[in-house]
Structure 1
């Protein structure tokens, strides 16, 4: 039941990836088909992040008020509406409206999916199952990339509806988060849901007591407001969560993935070949990260990832410097491909998934909604800034853009080494207690 529940939840992650990957293989096609200017297309590519920011602001409140399952349903319906608006669009207004709806839906998904998984999973499987969130995101991105080289953009929009339908159907067969049920005071449903997740013959008394005791303690505390996140007891968790999300985004990932076809075209590498190679690399490397996260731990994967991102960004920056200055131009396409592949492989093994896993672990349940919304908002704000400015940065200096990303990735390495704790093999209650010591 844990595996089934995780599979259903990560259909939302696949939908997330479908939305993110939609623009990359179709950059010039949509722009030319609807006669969009550079600024109009930059807005279309990045408005998904604006919707996601608003979704992030409300995601914690919605998930705490309606429950995790109902929140997943709401997000699915919004994404379906968004894809239909894109499919029927004749100009940029309906196109942007649809993209905004997609953004709101995936902004909520980006919070509630990892939280739901962390709340249903046993501690020895939690890291790997939570990483399935990122695995399905990159699978969704990869499928969108590959289908985008085959299908026209309107048909590709319709394929984005499929994971939403699977999610809506699957929610009928899985239990609600036991921790949310306990928080909502639904004692009988809490015990029944935990028993379903652990197996009919499993002894749940100890785990049920720990969850109930933790929640009863926390419920004596006042309801968390945004300013409460900056109190001393929560400050370390906020620094870790916000810091990881900022480094994840300002390292350049969404600018690169949104406009991947333009990067390869500028470097003189065959666009479709580059996109397919990028898509095929993401999934197995993310799967490897999911296998390693509960064995190697969170910190080692983040450190390896940050170092690889630095190397990939530097190689890509060097290749564009060579192109601008006409130094060995025959090597530029291959060096760009190498840099981008090192970059995406490094992101997929650590910096893509692990920040979301840690975010779902470090906040106590009484502040999880508020804190999760804030951290997710920071992530999507970074995504918006990165995706909106990428075209302008590339126009200013192609190699300077990637050297800037390399600098950010170097700072990320230092941040992980000095600030981020290891959470492998601990219960959520143990992690949250250790963050306050």
Structure 2
């Protein structure tokens, strides 16, 4: 039977790659994976730009910028990212992952040009929106590309590069923004997408894309580039091609698949995780970290670049650690610990700012905001940062994964916009202490959501996850296909 053949050929492939480490070259796969995630580095620099720009932008460009106007400049990036989530998935299926990512250099260049040459708040807004389109598109295409080019033995490592490079980009923007003008930072940030284009141009297209288009010879050449000419790519090529053909034969109508109990519960979990990820206040803390530390300082004009850089460094380290432990400890426990820890740290921040608001002498506790924010970022990056994105590929059946995953991505960026746009308004209306207490309560509710509704997916096949969610994968996808 076709299903059995696929299972055997894939098992043989995995076995061969595990027993003979020299059978396929790993270096070309790492090179292609890192080249693709240079786009994530560029997106991270766009995200990190807001923090140093908050205190310098109006002065350097000699443009009056109110706090509300800057909140739009910071947050409109998220609207641009939300706009592109669904279209970029469709475009990458039509023209290919590589071409779609290379095309993103155009809006990146336009966006940074508007920022660099800006003479009004409107130009800043338009530039940031266009940069959001580029950055949001990379959040969809880069993980897709790295997942499709890599062997199963290194797929986890390559898949973690995206989040790692994104946080590295944020850290670079923090560091550079502390020592150079925002104009210069924008120029450097504009060069990174061009470097990505120059490097990624020479990388191969995803072999999976070629097979989906029926271009077997092109897929064979891509596999040879990625695995080495001496490696026998035929078993892997045949297994992947048969898997795609089998998925097409067993495909059911989207309107039928989306009404299943498993799909409905999967959507509930996905949207819940994205909601609590953003309403935890993480983007407010990242985008406005300079202001948070300056507000907590006993001297208002004290430079707060150093603690902001520390926060960025902690985020990079924590994401790296998360890639090492998520398959050992499990998704659910890390999400729960992350949510409880974020609840406690935002509660402490709220208490600190409340004491300031009643003129209590907090001089001896000036270290507390830095410690709390670092703890928040570390625990967020260990759990609620990467895991919701990871679970998007685990809780949906193949029939609805594309649209359902894109919809969750769209919802995530919209929630990120709400938090970054209205954080300043909320802080001004109710005070920073109340704002952080609101984040704390939301994190506590999120912990309850995880405890009651989120399943553990570690070590489970797609079939087992669907059954646990209330579905029956065997009616949609043969059990043997889960070996792939």
Using structure 2 for the length normalisation, give the TM-score.
0.83
Question: Would you say 1:352 and 2:352 are equivalent positions?
Answer: no
Superposition deviation, residue 197 in structure 1: 3.2
Structure 1 unmatched ranges of 5 or more: none
Question: Would you say 1:13 and 2:46 are equivalent positions?
Answer: no
Q: Which is higher, the Rg of structure 1 or of structure 2?
A: 2
Question: Partner of 2:104: helix, strand, or coil?
Answer: helix
Superposition deviation, residue 335 in structure 1: 1.5
| Cα distance per residue 1:250-300 (max 9 Å; x no partner) | 111111111111111111164122212212222222211122234434334
Question: Partner of 2:400: helix, strand, or coil?
Answer: helix
The number of aligned residues is 436
- Which of these residues, 191, 196, 212, is aligned with residue 241 of structure 2? 212
Residue in structure 2 matched with residue 83 of structure 1 by the alignment: 112
- Say whether the 8 Å CA contact 1:8–1:166 is kept in structure 2: no
Residue in structure 1 matched with residue 422 of structure 2 by the alignment: 389
Superposition deviation, residue 5 in structure 1: 1.7
- When residues 171 and 365 of structure 1 are mapped into structure 2, their CA distance, relative to the original with a 3 A threshold, is farther
Question: Would you say 1:4 and 2:31 are equivalent positions?
Answer: yes
Question: Would you say 1:378 and 2:414 are equivalent positions?
Answer: no
Superposition deviation, residue 49 in structure 1: 1.0
| Cα distance per residue 1:30-75 (max 9 Å; x no partner) | 1343101222211111111111111113122122222211121122
Residue in structure 2 matched with residue 27 of structure 1 by the alignment: 54
Deviates more, 1:268-277 or 1:108-117: 268-277
| Cα distance per residue 1:186-220 (max 9 Å; x no partner) | 22223333444344444545544443333223324
Q: How many Å separate the matches in 1 of 2:133 and 2:330?
A: 32
Q: How many Å separate the matches in 1 of 2:458 and 2:392?
A: 13
Residue in structure 2 matched with residue 142 of structure 1 by the alignment: 171
1:8-407 correspondence runs (5 A):
8-32=35-59, 33-220=62-249, 221=251, 224=254, 229-268=258-297, 270-395=303-428, 396-407=430-441
CA RMSD, 1 decimal: 2.6
Q: How many Å separate the matches in 2 of 1:212 and 1:431?
A: 24
Deviates more, 1:181-190 or 1:92-101: 181-190
Q: How many Å separate the matches in 2 of 1:231 and 1:73?
A: 37
| Cα distance per residue 1:343-377 (max 9 Å; x no partner) | 11112222222222222444455534322321110
Using structure 1 for the length normalisation, give the TM-score.
0.91
- When residues 97 and 420 of structure 1 are mapped into structure 2, their CA distance, relative to the original with a 3 A threshold, is same
- When residues 41 and 16 of structure 1 are mapped into structure 2, their CA distance, relative to the original with a 3 A threshold, is same
Question: Would you say 1:412 and 2:442 are equivalent positions?
Answer: no
- Say whether the 8 Å CA contact 2:116–2:186 is kept in structure 1: yes
- Say whether the 8 Å CA contact 1:311–1:342 is kept in structure 2: no
Deviates more, 1:169-178 or 1:41-50: 169-178
- When residues 297 and 381 of structure 1 are mapped into structure 2, their CA distance, relative to the original with a 3 A threshold, is same
Question: Partner of 2:179: helix, strand, or coil?
Answer: coil
| Cα distance per residue 1:82-107 (max 9 Å; x no partner) | 01110001111221111111011111
- Say whether the 8 Å CA contact 1:9–1:117 is kept in structure 2: yes
| Cα distance per residue 1:5-25 (max 9 Å; x no partner) | 210121111112111110111
Q: How many Å separate the matches in 1 of 2:154 and 2:175?
A: 31
Q: How many Å separate the matches in 2 of 1:357 and 1:241?
A: 10
| Cα distance per residue 1:117-141 (max 9 Å; x no partner) | 2223333433332222111111111
Question: Partner of 1:62: helix, strand, or coil?
Answer: helix
Superposition deviation, residue 424 in structure 1: 4.3
- Say whether the 8 Å CA contact 1:223–1:367 is kept in structure 2: no
Q: How many Å separate the matches in 2 of 1:416 and 1:194?
A: 40
- When residues 357 and 120 of structure 1 are mapped into structure 2, their CA distance, relative to the original with a 3 A threshold, is farther
